Amino acid sequence: MTKIKNSEKGSFFLLNWQMGKKKTAAQPQTGGKKICKAIHQYSNGKIGREDMDRLLDIAQSCKVVCNYVYQKYGGIRSIDKIYPGYTVQNEMTASGLREKLNLPTVYFYPAVFNAVREIKTQWAHVKRNIYAAINENEKFTPEDKHYLRFAVKIDGCFVNILNGKPVLIPGEMMPKYESIVSDLQGDQSECVKSLNRYLCRQVRKKLRKIHTEKFLYFSVWEKGYRYGKSKNAEGRECHGIFLTTKERRKRIFIPLTDTNQYSGVLDIKLKPEKNSVEIIASVFTGIRTHEDYTNEIGISLGLWDMITTSTGHVYGGEFGKMQKALYDYSVNERRIYGRENSDAPRKKYSIRREKMEEALKNYINREINRMFAEEKTEKIYMAKLPQNPGGRAEAGQYLLRVWKKGYVTERLKWKCRQNAIEFIEVLGKSLSVECSVCGAVCETQSQSGYEDFKCPNCGYEEDRKVNAARNAINRGKTGRQLNKVFPAES
Ligand SMILES: [Zn+2]
């Protein structure tokens, strides 16, 4: 699931937005009721060969910068340099790499920050995995686990332990640390040493080398571009964007399909095969508040009906059908084109597939909006999706479904934030086999069939998904909530 997420634009743009925030005073603050949204712009007409080569050259250099940062700062010894990251920036300035690549600063620094951000993401991932390993390890006493979790959580502990230095933590945390250590059984100093060795081993095991082969996108600072008018390839004046190049005083003009202008860091995605460019800008949009949204509902996601509510309504009834069409298309076309050597039909195939994907995404978004407008809720309760649900379906189809479910959840959460609706996740265990009226758990209920839920205890009969959605709202209201996502949180 993480892997799929990474390929999405979301994480990439978000990182730039956060970097851009610091650099551009013109950006509004995140405080108050504002959230960040990705906006896409597209080039109009074909980009000339020479200009495309210039852009590819910039992207290539940015790739070199990213890989340089990964190699130099992605390891254990550099962990203290990436928090908060200014050290990396300064050292990269001094490295001379920018001059060697002849890369303008407006591309160089965003590339450095993107890479640092990726390294931080990787560390967060490592830490999460270590927490899981600690929890699962039966040899540790509760006190050992307490110590280890503290050591991972507090940077002054974690970083120094990894580098074999004495722990250095803020004064107010020191008594806490000392009390955790004094709770350890046996020879405390030996115990600490052995637990620290365990942490180091875990990190060595879980930290992977990062490397990117992505050479079709880069980010640019606000100083590196300007919106304006100029002549396109046919000599007609049109609106577009000027981008800094490696050559002094020379800017590339890219005509755009719209006349919108954005600020802050932009992500530029090159599509040399189509001679086109996609620009991803991040804008802050206000949160919409709806006075008349006062209901609370539970929802249940499905593979066929996208969302079923505790009120018995279905949104996204075509969801499964569209997914299946997309899946069937991919399988068939791949089988046919997989044998051919020419690229042309394959290209046709991928364009069609992209269109189908796009249509499905639009459908998902429309149906979520429709749900908000019709249900008028201020709170939505949903079971947290399992990390690794056991899949019975065929691998490919299963993955596609998981991806789409992830997409639905992501959009739901985002749209809830945008509309000041509280999204509350609840425990999902036996949600579909519990009776929402009397609470009896009927393990014998078929979970895969399409028949209704029938409670052997009280006789309650209802659509399975509606019953699950009703359980979600019941659990949420009785305090069995996992995490609340409040509208103001980003
Ligand atoms: Zn019952």
Residue 390: predicted pLDDT: 44
Residues 476, 416 contacting (CB under 8 angstroms): no
Minimum mean pLDDT range among 28-37, 221-230, 321-330: 28-37
Rounded distance from Cα 445 to ligand 1 centre (Å): 12
Residue 76 per-residue DSSP state: G
Over residues 421-445, the pLDDT tens digits come to 999 988 888 888 888 988 888 776 5
Confidence of residue 401 (pLDDT cuts 50, 70, 90): low
Residues 6, 254 contacting (CB under 8 angstroms): no
**Measured between alpha carbons, how far apart are the two ends of the chain, in Å?**
21
Total tally of structural domains belonging to the chain: 1
Confidence of residue 2 (pLDDT cuts 50, 70, 90): very low
Rounded distance from Cα 409 to ligand 1 centre (Å): 29
Over residues 159-199, the pLDDT tens digits come to 889 988 888 787 788 888 888 888 888 888 889 999 999 99
**295: which 2 tokens?**
């209901």
CA–CA dist 301, 364 (Å, integer): 12
Over residues 287-321, the pLDDT tens digits come to 888 889 999 999 999 888 999 999 999 999 999 89
Rounded distance from Cα 434 to ligand 1 centre (Å): 8
Residue 359 confidence (pLDDT) above 70: yes
> Average pLDDT for residues 227-238, to the nearest whole number?
88
Range of the domain at 423: 295-317+371-485
Rounded distance from Cα 463 to ligand 1 centre (Å): 13
Please tell me the pTM assigned to this model: 0.64
Task: Please indicate, yes or no, if residue 434 is contained in any of the structural domains.
Answer: yes
Residue 238 confidence (pLDDT) above 70: yes
Residue 378: predicted pLDDT: 93
> Average pLDDT for residues 374-398, to the nearest whole number?
69
Task: Please indicate, yes or no, if residue 419 is contained in any of the structural domains.
Answer: yes
Over residues 119-145, the pLDDT tens digits come to 999 999 999 899 889 988 889 999 999
Rounded distance from Cα 453 to ligand 1 centre (Å): 10
Rounded distance from Cα 455 to ligand 1 centre (Å): 5
Task: Please indicate, yes or no, if residue 442 is contained in any of the structural domains.
Answer: yes
Residues 268, 243 contacting (CB under 8 angstroms): yes
Sequence-distant (6+) residues with CB within 8 A of 483 are 424, 425
Rounded distance from Cα 372 to ligand 1 centre (Å): 30
Task: Please indicate, yes or no, if residue 20 is contained in any of the structural domains.
Answer: no
Residue 56 confidence (pLDDT) above 80: yes
The residue with greater pLDDT, 126 or 285, is: 126
Task: Please indicate, yes or no, if residue 476 is contained in any of the structural domains.
Answer: yes
Residue 184: predicted pLDDT: 87
Which uninterrupted H or E stretch holds 418?
helix 395-418
Rounded distance from Cα 465 to ligand 1 centre (Å): 15
Residue 178: predicted pLDDT: 87
Rounded distance from Cα 430 to ligand 1 centre (Å): 14
Distances (CA, A) of 338 to 58, 333, 343, 348, 349: 33, 8, 10, 13, 11
Rounded distance from Cα 460 to ligand 1 centre (Å): 5
CA–CA dist 272, 60 (Å, integer): 13
Q: Dihedrals φ, ψ of 149, to 5°?
A: -65, -40
Over residues 89-123, the pLDDT tens digits come to 999 999 999 999 999 999 999 999 999 999 999 99
CA–CA dist 311, 298 (Å, integer): 8
Over residues 327-357, the pLDDT tens digits come to 888 888 777 766 666 666 677 777 888 899 8
Which uninterrupted H or E stretch holds 147?
helix 142-153
Task: Please indicate, yes or no, if residue 472 is contained in any of the structural domains.
Answer: yes
Give the other-Cβ count within 10 Å of 188's Cβ: 13
**158: which 2 tokens?**
């974690």
Over residues 448-479, the pLDDT tens digits come to 556 788 888 888 888 999 999 999 999 888 86
Over residues 16-39, the pLDDT tens digits come to 333 333 333 333 333 456 778 889
Rounded distance from Cα 220 to ligand 1 centre (Å): 59
Distances (CA, A) of 282 to 101, 192, 267, 319: 28, 46, 9, 29
Task: Please indicate, yes or no, if residue 32 is contained in any of the structural domains.
Answer: no
**252: which 2 tokens?**
């590339």
Task: Please indicate, yes or no, if residue 300 is contained in any of the structural domains.
Answer: yes
